[in-house]
Amino acid sequence: MGDRFHRIMYVTASVLLTLTFLAVGISFFAPYWLSNIPAVQANETAWINGSRYINDSVKYYPDRGLWAQCGLRCYWFWNDNYRLQKQLLTPLKWHLATQILYFIAATLILFCEFYARVQMCCDPRRSVFMSLAIILFISAVLQLASVATFGGGASNDPYNAISDPAKFTKYLGQAMVDFNRPYLGWCYWMAVVGDMLTIASGVFFVLAGCFADDD
């Protein structure tokens, strides 16, 4: 009975880990953490578009991820000698912090995914499952810190200050006429789901370890 329960817990944990790997991987690379960035945000997008104020420039770069800003085409952090990273993403300290935290968290998930697959060829050991669970819980904490940092930073960024015209003008140099507030994109919420899947996978690895053979 114990061996059967162990196998069920291990299979469940492995499936959840694969789903976690997919959710975190998509969130890591897809450029949709923040959407509907206003066209008047010229101090951030002008150097990409090539002129200071371009009508409807939001159509070009309305979406931002951890590593790119996208619209009709994508501008990645490595383009033009890392210009996006150096001139926009790094000065946004909350964005830089999110990049670092989520990079470490995603690396831990990648390690767990491969490590768990290798263990499928070996006899089940309690120490293996417990170590996987610990790493997953560490990654979950880092993911939580990432989404909290990004959500808090984006909500306090200058382009969300339209409720205070004076503050808005201070940052952007002109008043906003037709403004649609930026919002957290689907990649952000997938990162939240990935965090929950990470915790669930860790819990099932703990249960699998409780019923595994002793080393």
Residue 115 lies in a domain: yes
Residue 132 lies in a domain: yes
Number of domains in the chain: 1
**Percent of the chain scoring above 90 in pLDDT:** 39
Rounded Cα distance, 63 and 183, in Å: 10
For residue 101, the enclosing domain spans 2-210
Residue 165 lies in a domain: yes
CATH code of the domain in which 65 resides: 1.20.140.150
What is the average pLDDT score of the chain?
A: 78
Closest Cα to residue 44, out of 144, 132, 159? Answer: 159
Query: Per-residue pLDDT tens for 145-195?
Result: 999 999 988 887 655 544 444 444 444 444 443 345 778 889 999 999 999
Residue 107 lies in a domain: yes
Q: 32, 47 in Cβ contact below 8 A?
A: no
Residue 140 lies in a domain: yes
| Residue 16's pLDDT band (cuts 50, 70, 90) | very high
Rounded Cα distance, 112 and 167, in Å: 46
What is the predicted pLDDT for the residue at 38?
65
Rounded Cα distance, 133 and 127, in Å: 10
List Cα–Cα distances, 59 to 40, 42, 70, 113, in angstroms: 11, 13, 9, 38
Neighbour tally for 90: CB within 10 Å: 14
What is the predicted pLDDT for the residue at 124?
63
Q: Which residues contact 137 (CB under 8 A, 6 or more apart)?
A: 198, 199, 202
Closest Cα to residue 201, out of 23, 4, 39? Answer: 23
**Percent of the chain scoring above 70 in pLDDT:** 70
Rounded Cα distance, 19 and 128, in Å: 20
Residue 7 lies in a domain: yes
Residue 215 lies in a domain: no
Residue 185 lies in a domain: yes
Query: Per-residue pLDDT tens for 41-89?
Result: 434 444 444 433 334 444 567 788 999 988 777 888 888 888 888 888 8
Average pLDDT over residues 124-145: 91
